[in-house]
Amino acid sequence: MSPDPLVPGRFRVPEDLILQPPEGGWTVPPDWSAVFGRKGPLAVEIGPGKGIFLARIAAAHPELDFLAIELRRQRCILCCRKILAARLGNARLIEGPAESLVRPLFAPGSVRIWYVNFPDPWPKRKQKKHRIVQPPFVRDLAQTTEPGGIAYLATDDADYAGQILEVFEADGSWENAHGPGRWSDTGGEHSRTTHEEKFLKWGRSIRYFQFVRRA
């Protein structure tokens, strides 16, 4: 592959893997059937990191179309490497801040599954305002999720786990699949990220959440 002019010495990713915003930015949702070449259920991962989970879950579910939203370009490129290596036709990326892209990118009720695995916990007191799981973000997820759709989240940070429960359960649009105030100690196929494997090796406790969009 030829060098990427934005990343010296690195390869150029295929143009259709990292979607580029139209002039003026994302103001209306893309035609996802045109992006993926078919009309399938849409699953979105926020913060895919190096793309290990993205590649695994997309390979395990070829019936779903996967979009990952990643803030850092270098990580987008790492994800593209995984997608290309696995020869996946059902995975794409968008570079940018997820908290400001959910509403512009997705029409109401258009997403079936969300994955938010190990979001940055911003552990210091003054940093907590930067956490992605805040009421406006959860409202945006609710608006764009189809009835019965699911939001999967995981964190090793106990304080953040409490915030996730509080915000989702206060929203009113979500039902906690594990019961009010509860989470699971196992994530099944809906985890298996680089962070998860590292934290489990260190003996850290991980909390897994599953919230279902009410009709």
- The secondary structure of 25-44, three-state, reads CCCCCCCHHHHHCCCCCEEE
Structure tokens at 168: 């989702």
Catalytic choice (120, 159, 171, 185): 120
Integer Cα distance of 179 and 151 in angstroms: 15
Question: Is residue 171 annotated as a catalytic residue, yes or no?
Answer: no
The alpha carbon of 107 is separated from its chain's Cα centroid by a whole number of angstroms, namely 16
Maximal C-alpha separation, the chain: 52
Residues contacting 176, CB < 8 A, separation 6+: 165, 168, 169, 182, 209, 210, 211
Nearest-angstrom CA–CA distance, 115 and 47: 9
DSSP state of 124: S
Return the SS3 of 108. Answer: coil
Catalytic residues: 120
